[in-house]
Structure 1
């Protein structure tokens, strides 16, 4: 299924006002992490939705996904910078997805979120979201996987685009990002807001984050994932091609696939088309009923 076309009324919707996060440095299982919580902005008398634990893309500081909180004001959103990324100190030792998923669970406890949360991840963070959901199924309500894949078992993106993705200049040189934004992310959009939120990771932080997923795959375990899952993919994604989303949706028992006519950054570039899909999904049941979902 596809979201509304760019010229539709939804696509022209204005962004809601910003919601500022509470940011602090917390020591979780021996690592200091920069943590952000966007608290729900619900009207008096309206209950909050289930909190969302969000995992960001590789090298991405938490400010990059600030629009998420603007478009989803009914839930608390919890996220953190990976070691050596954004405001989190450099890692002393390498880490693996399972160790960071454990820290994420401990972080939720530390912040007082002891019940279930919905889990969302984009790109590299989509792998972390899968790991968390598989490792802590009792903590997870629903799962949202955006522009992501099953780890090393994936169809690779365009080699020319991946080479630019690996170039550290995309973090430290705004002009490089401006010149290559469309080829990197498959979008013609105002890139200044995104570039202005970038904070370059440290070299060690980036390399350790890259190494964390080396050899990792969820493919053999996804049939065990019982949480209802929304797989969101960009139709023109040159970094994680659409076929990867189809693969995820086929492996996960309670999954549905939705496509957005955008590139890898459709969460940022196509919010008026993307977030209604997310909101509808979160408002629905936690399990797909027999016979499927109503149209």
Structure 2
């Protein structure tokens, strides 16, 4: 299924047990395509400001897989997911080396892609992410708010819970969350369970030192979900990594789209 209302051409591709929802922009030839793996419970419309601030390079934004009725058996793992994504990218005409970006949960998928396809992944950007289950945890209030958003997606208190999760400027000015809630399409229960099961037992710590791609680690100084210590772990263990810290929380792509896009493009276009 395809729709063209959004600035990105949106496709929903059926796969055994789940569906992949992605936004596609063919862009201008000459620059490597940028493939963005979205965060847990997020949808690509939330990245409109960030996408608008990027240059005209080819772009693919991939939401976490959608699971409608019941969990696929066996549940998908990141290794299987990136294999499927690579097949989809080739079908879309992106057989050349690509730049890969992962946001939060999507950062796990991006790290897995860089490991499995070192010749396909030219550069890697990890935003508000961590090494997986072996990470420095955030405060319990952020975890409780994440569980609340997952279990009560239509709750009247989701603005309050979102501010607790996003942190930074959204925690100081909770009213700013409202402008983004209208673009939020809450995930179904099975989808969220599948996302959490994919993460269960997964950690990149044992093999981060094997990643050879130039890597940009973007982190919020006040991130309640993936505290700043995790960014230092990533940047110190990946051999060719650069760390950039933004004075904000977990949601800096929403609150600072232009600054985040500038940092990302500066990294992707450097010699």
Q: Secondary structure in 1 aligned to 2:265?
A: helix
Q: Secondary structure in 2 aligned to 1:79?
A: strand
Q: Which residue of 2 aligns with 1:206?
A: 192
**Where in structure 2 are there 5+ consecutive unaligned residues?**
none
- Between the aligned partners of 2:224 and 2:199, the Cα distance in structure 1 is 20
Q: Secondary structure in 1 aligned to 2:245?
A: strand
- Give the conservation status (yes or no) of the 8 Å contact 2:163–2:177: no
Q: Which residue of 2 aligns with 1:37?
A: 24
**Where in structure 1 are there 5+ consecutive unaligned residues?**
1-17, 286-295
Q: Which residue of 1 aligns with 2:143?
A: 162
Q: Which residue of 2 aligns with 1:257?
A: 243
- Give the conservation status (yes or no) of the 8 Å contact 2:18–2:66: no
- Give the conservation status (yes or no) of the 8 Å contact 1:19–1:70: no
- Between the aligned partners of 2:71 and 2:97, the Cα distance in structure 1 is 29
- Between the aligned partners of 2:18 and 2:153, the Cα distance in structure 1 is 24
Q: Which residue of 2 aligns with 1:49?
A: 31
- Give the conservation status (yes or no) of the 8 Å contact 1:84–1:90: no
Per-residue deviation, 1:266: 0.3
1:217 equivalent among 203, 208, 215: 203
Per-residue deviation, 1:28: 4.7
Runs of 4+ more than 3 Å apart: 27-32, 88-91
1:92 equivalent among 59, 72, 96: 72
String of CA shifts for 1:50-95, please: whole Å, max 9, x gaps.
111111111112222222320113222212333326xx78653311
Q: Which residue of 1 aligns with 2:122?
A: 141
- Give the conservation status (yes or no) of the 8 Å contact 2:34–2:57: yes
Q: Secondary structure in 2 aligned to 1:137?
A: coil
Find out whether 1:71 has 2:58 as its counterpart.
Answer: no
Q: Secondary structure in 1 aligned to 2:206?
A: coil
Q: Which residue of 2 aligns with 1:171?
A: 153
Cα-Cα RMSD: 2.1
Q: Secondary structure in 1 aligned to 2:100?
A: strand
Q: Which has the larger radius of gyration?
A: 1
- Between the aligned partners of 1:59 and 1:248, the Cα distance in structure 2 is 23
Per-residue deviation, 1:204: 0.8
Number of aligned residue pairs: give it.
Answer: 260
Q: Once structures 1 and 2 are overlaid, which stretch shifts more, 136-145 or 267-276?
A: 267-276
Q: Which residue of 1 aligns with 2:102?
A: 121
- Between the aligned partners of 1:62 and 1:271, the Cα distance in structure 2 is 14
Per-residue deviation, 1:185: 1.4
- Give the conservation status (yes or no) of the 8 Å contact 2:222–2:250: yes
Q: Which residue of 2 aligns with 1:153?
A: 134
Q: Once structures 1 and 2 are overlaid, which stretch shifts more, 61-70 or 179-188?
A: 179-188
- Between the aligned partners of 1:63 and 1:27, the Cα distance in structure 2 is 20
- Between the aligned partners of 2:98 and 2:69, the Cα distance in structure 1 is 26
- Between the aligned partners of 2:61 and 2:109, the Cα distance in structure 1 is 12
1:268-283 → structure 2 map (5 Å cutoff): 268-283=254-269
- Between the aligned partners of 2:207 and 2:39, the Cα distance in structure 1 is 22
- Between the aligned partners of 1:217 and 1:135, the Cα distance in structure 2 is 14
- Between the aligned partners of 2:70 and 2:47, the Cα distance in structure 1 is 21
